[in-house]
A and B are shown apart, each in its own frame.
Chain A
Amino acid sequence: MSEPQSQRTVLLVDDDDDFLFQHRLHLETAGFNVLVAHGQKEAEVFLARQRPDLAVIDVMMENPDAGFTLCHRIRKQDASIPVILVTSVNSETGLDFALSTDEQRSWIKADSLLTKPIRFEQLQREIDRVFSRAAVKA
């Protein structure tokens, strides 16, 4: 661990107020500083002012692919910010993608993709993983 988690800011983006409420609670309990945004546009306003250490983004918001678009923008702005995408769109609901290879990660432009419902332990594990991967790259 390069720096203590209490210093780290997570940008949490989802149009579901309850998802934001619950995961903000979890993340704050885990010692993160949390910024919440209800959609792509609101997130972009934050990003213009501040650089989060991590972004956790829902895929379907204003548009069915708003999360992908936002992810792409973050990549263009600062490729070193790790991004975790969260979606309830999975094989059961018609769309299936994985981020198991570097090629898929570079195509979707995210470091990780989680399928809702997600338990906080799962998100915490994924956060640890993308931070350690980012640390290796750096």
Chain B
Amino acid sequence: MHTLRVLVTDDEMGMRLGVTRTLRDFSVCVPDVNGAVAFAVDQAESGEEALGKIDRSPPDILLLDHKMPGISGLEVLDHLAGRETDMLTIMITAYASIETAVAATKRGAYDFLAKPFTPDELKSTIRKAAARLILAKQARQLTEEKRRVRFEFIRVLGHELKAPLNAVAGYLDILRDHQLGDDLAAYEELVARSLARMDGMRKLIADLLDLTQIESGQKNRELTKVDLAAAAASAIEAVAAQGAARAVTLQLHSAGPLVISADVREIEIIFNNLLTNAIKYNRDGGRVDVALQRAGEQAAIVVSDTGIGMKGEELKQLFGEFVRIRNEKTHHIPGSGLGLSIVKKLALLYGGDVAVESRPDAGSTFTVTLDAEV
């Protein structure tokens, strides 16, 4: 249970005890919060004492009498002005005058209670303040979480961009120092390896731009009628050379046009990522089968390969950003680690999802579902 701290500041002992008693067993339920919110009440009998307590440890809610013998409630607010705090102040005043209300609001008071008030009036005011505090706290946690996720992404991105640079720099060092002697042919592999790393870096940057565009609110999305069968056929053609290089056969299974409303570029990205993965993680001479299905309101793209497959624990993390399954079967396969996270984000955008079934050394099947409305 969440507990909010309340400091009641009033020179009348009866008022302090009354508030304490009313809130002692009071709890409120705030929407979107698990469990109830309870209150711990502390007391101060003067503005001076309240300021001392607030200095040491600010409460969540300050119940503040306006008229007190020493410094007044408004003066307490003056002292508190300009502090960075979430504390909400509720002014208690015997003269519910507009002037006092305006003066207190200008000094940052959140709400008012006019004396005399009933326990129910107190509870209702406290309930409102509690809801506001909890929601503000949640909003801040969400912002912090977003910032943390962003930082983590950039941290890993930095790592992924530095690795190819280090590799290319290493080869250039060898070239500069003529470490392989005078045989020029011996240097060709170093150049080829350097170019391959730069290709990988280019792909990473392209994926990064795709990802950023998807996340940026899709300003450039253009929804038209897209035939998935035609899109699949042209995607297969686009990767044909890559497949041929490893003698991987690609085949489309579709029962004619399957038209959905989509951005054609996004559909291309989905097919391209699924197909290049199916080739890269295949065995030489393997197969890739692309099936298109309509299941009620949804269309499904099913891509199966006969490749290295994955283990159960590897599947769990597969759709995260920069997740690459690293083992002795995959170390030589280039990839940005962003492709499947892009596919997942796009599928969600189309009211669908992506699922995977896989068996080590037998192959994997990826199923992307998309809303099929036209």
Specify which chain A residues have a CB less than 8 angstroms from the CB of B238 in the assembled complex.
none
Q: How far is the CA of A94 from the CA of B162 in the complex (A)?
A: 14
Question: Chain A 100-138, CB within 8 Å of chain B: the 1/0 string?
Answer: 000000000000000011011000000000000000000
Q: How far is the CA of A94 from the CA of B328 in the complex (A)?
A: 27
Q: Which of B155-179 contact A (CB under 8 A)?
A: 155, 158-159, 162-163, 165-167, 169-171, 173-174, 179
Specify which chain B residues have a CB less than 8 angstroms from the CB of A21 in the assembled complex.
193
**Is A22's CB under 8 angstroms from B158's CB?**
no
Specify which chain A residues have a CB less than 8 angstroms from the CB of B344 in the assembled complex.
none
What's the least CB distance linking B171 to chain A, in Å? Answer: 7
What's the least CB distance linking B316 to chain A, in Å? Answer: 13
What's the least CB distance linking A51 to chain B, in Å? Answer: 21
- Contact with B331, one of A39, A94, A116, A120 (Cβ below 8 angstroms): A39
Does A93 count as interface, using CB distance less than 8 angstroms? yes
**Is B155's CB under 8 angstroms from A19's CB?**
no
Stretch touching chain B among A1-9, A10-18, A69-77: A10-18
Question: Chain A 5-46, CB within 8 Å of chain B: the 1/0 string?
Answer: 000000000011111011001100100000000110110000
Specify which chain B residues have a CB less than 8 angstroms from the CB of A117 in the assembled complex.
162, 165-166, 169-170
Does B327 count as interface, using CB distance less than 8 angstroms? yes
User: Main SS of chain B's interface residues?
Assistant: helix
**Is B174's CB under 8 angstroms from A88's CB?**
no
Q: How far is the CA of A40 from the CA of B189 in the complex (A)?
A: 27
**Is A18's CB under 8 angstroms from B193's CB?**
yes
**Is B159's CB under 8 angstroms from A17's CB?**
no
Does A62 count as interface, using CB distance less than 8 angstroms? yes
- Contact with A93, one of B159, B167, B327 (Cβ below 8 angstroms): B159
**Is B170's CB under 8 angstroms from A18's CB?**
yes
**Is A116's CB under 8 angstroms from B166's CB?**
yes
- Contact with A94, one of B155, B171, B193, B326 (Cβ below 8 angstroms): B155
Specify which chain A residues have a CB less than 8 angstroms from the CB of B163 in the assembled complex.
16, 88
Does A47 count as interface, using CB distance less than 8 angstroms? no
Identify the closest chain A residue to B170 (Cβ).
A22
Q: How far is the CA of A22 from the CA of B163 in the complex (A)?
A: 13
Question: Chain B 271-284, CB within 8 Å of chain A: the 1/0 string?
Answer: 00000000000000
Specify which chain A residues have a CB less than 8 angstroms from the CB of B331 in the assembled complex.
15-17, 38-39
What's the least CB distance linking A69 to chain B, in Å? Answer: 13
Q: Which of B123-171 contact A (CB under 8 A)?
A: 155, 158-159, 162-163, 165-167, 169-171
Specify which chain A residues have a CB less than 8 angstroms from the CB of B197 in the assembled complex.
18
What's the least CB distance linking B195 to chain A, in Å? Answer: 12
Q: Which of A61-111 contact B (CB under 8 A)?
A: 61-63, 88-89, 92-94
Q: How far is the CA of A63 from the CA of B162 in the complex (A)?
A: 19
Does B332 count as interface, using CB distance less than 8 angstroms? yes
Specify which chain B residues have a CB less than 8 angstroms from the CB of A61 in the assembled complex.
326
Q: How far is the CA of A25 from the CA of B193 in the complex (A)?
A: 14
- Seen from chain A, the residues whose Cβ lies within 8 Å of a Cβ on chain B are 15-19, 21-22, 25-26, 29, 38-39, 41-42, 61-63, 88-89, 92-94, 116-117, 119-120
A-B contact pairs, 5 of them (CB 8 A): A18-B171, A62-B326, A89-B159, A92-B158, A93-B158
A17-B331, A19-B170, A39-B328 are known; give 4 further A-B pairs, CB within 8 A.
A39-B327, A41-B327, A117-B162, A120-B173
Q: Which 5 A-B pairs have the closest CB atoms?
A: A18-B167, A117-B166, A38-B331, A22-B170, A94-B155
